[in-house]
């Protein structure tokens, strides 16, 4: 994939947004996030007396993947943020593409997680209790199985729609970040926007169910923004290939045509491994 065009700039105000701060501030590496599969660095970024924590993933630290072009994961992370912003749901932390100490990479606002929030569980039952949605049965050792469930939560349902649009191939439990203010964020969107169907997620609880009226309205607005010359189409074209933008349009159209949450295709493992 050729080098991306420059993303059209957002307007900058006297009180810059977190995305502006991430893009313009001085980036300082504080440590490494060792559990990450690609190079991920914990950093701070400071500008005009403001400082926030963030994650910096340099392109140079990306491991090659057989089904994605080399050196494109950072751009896909930013593209996922652009789509999230287009929904108005704010499901992805502010994310920018910029130069850093180890070259160009993705920089994303750090989210402090509320550990008490329970979004996933394993239960010894055949059916989920009220307030929960079934994902699948999982082996738990000694030949036993348990039912893996996720919360029947509006925030997760919105994220399931976002994942269907961006074709997320790796929605794990560890990528769900609830904060102290009650917001839920999804992170780690490097393996998204493939032109082939690769949706792989834990959020299958609504598979085949009708989309909410809110989701239909959001998808309708997104279809307009993805038309040739539309604001979202222009921004995505600076980050992913033309074929991938076309595929994103097609996924939005398919969701609107069916009016339902997608179901596993059977052509690709439906649940990521490990799931958490």
At 159-213, the pLDDT tens digits run 999 999 999 999 999 899 999 899 999 999 999 999 999 999 999 999 999 999 9
Report whether 173 contacts 276 (CB < 8 A): yes
Give yes or no for a contact between 113 and 178, defined as CB atoms under 8 angstroms apart: yes
pLDDT at 140: 72
Span 216-259, pLDDT tens digits: 999 999 999 999 999 999 999 999 999 999 999 999 999 999 99
* CA-to-CA dists, residue 129 to 105, 148, 178, angstroms: 43, 12, 22
Q: What is the mean pLDDT of residues 114-118?
A: 79
* H helix or E strand, kind and range, residue 168: none
Is the pLDDT at 22 greater than 90? The verdict is yes
Give the C-alpha separation, 118 to 121, whole Å: 8
141 conformational bin, left if phi > 0, alpha if psi -120 to 50, beta if neither: left
Degrees, nearest 5: CA angle 95-41-53 = 55
Strand order in the sheet with 41-47: 26-32, 41-47, 50-58, 103-109, 95-100
With pLDDT > 90 as the criterion, what percentage of the chain qualifies? 79
Q: pTM of the entire structure?
A: 0.91
Q: Which two tokens stand for residue 128?
A: 């989920």
Confidence of residue 15 (pLDDT cuts 50, 70, 90): low
What are phi and psi for residue 27, nearest 5 degrees? Answer: -95, 125
Give the model's confidence band at 92: pLDDT under 50 very low, under 70 low, under 90 confident, else very high.
very high
Give the integer Cα–Cα distance in Å for 202 and 173.
7
């Amino acid at each position: 994939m050729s080098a991306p065009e420059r993303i059209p700039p957002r307007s900058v105000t006297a009180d810059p947004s977190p995305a502006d701060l991430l893009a313009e501030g001085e980036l300082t590496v504080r440590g490494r996030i060792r559990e990450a599969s690609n190079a991920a660095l914990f950093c701070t970024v400071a500008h005009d007396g403001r400082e926030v924590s963030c994650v910096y993933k340099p392109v140079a630290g990306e491991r090659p993947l057989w089904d994605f072009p080399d050196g494109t994961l950072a751009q896909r992370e930013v593209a996922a943020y652009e789509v999230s912003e287009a929904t108005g749901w704010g499901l992805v932390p502010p994310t920018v593409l910029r130069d850093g100490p180890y070259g160009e990479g993705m920089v994303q606002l750090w989210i402090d997680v509320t550990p008490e929030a329970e979004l996933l569980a394993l239960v010894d039952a055949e059916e989920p209790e009220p307030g929960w949605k079934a994902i699948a049965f999982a082996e738990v050792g000694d030949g036993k199985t348990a039912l893996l469930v996720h919360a029947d939560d509006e925030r997760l349902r919105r994220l399931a729609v976002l994942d269907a649009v961006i074709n997320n191939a790796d929605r794990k439990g560890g990528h769900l970040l609830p904060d102290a203010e009650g917001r839920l964020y999804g992170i780690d969107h490097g393996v998204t926007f493939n032109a082939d169907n690769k949706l792989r997620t834990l959020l299958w609880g609504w598979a085949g169910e009708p989309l909410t009226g809110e989701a239909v309205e959001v998808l309708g607005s997104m279809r307009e923004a993805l038309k040739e010359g539309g604001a979202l189409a222009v921004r995505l074209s600076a980050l992913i290939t033309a074929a991938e933008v076309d595929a994103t349009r097609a996924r939005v159209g398919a969701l609107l045509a069916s009016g339902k949450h997608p179901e596993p295709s059977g052509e690709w493992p439906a649940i990521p491994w490990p799931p958490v």
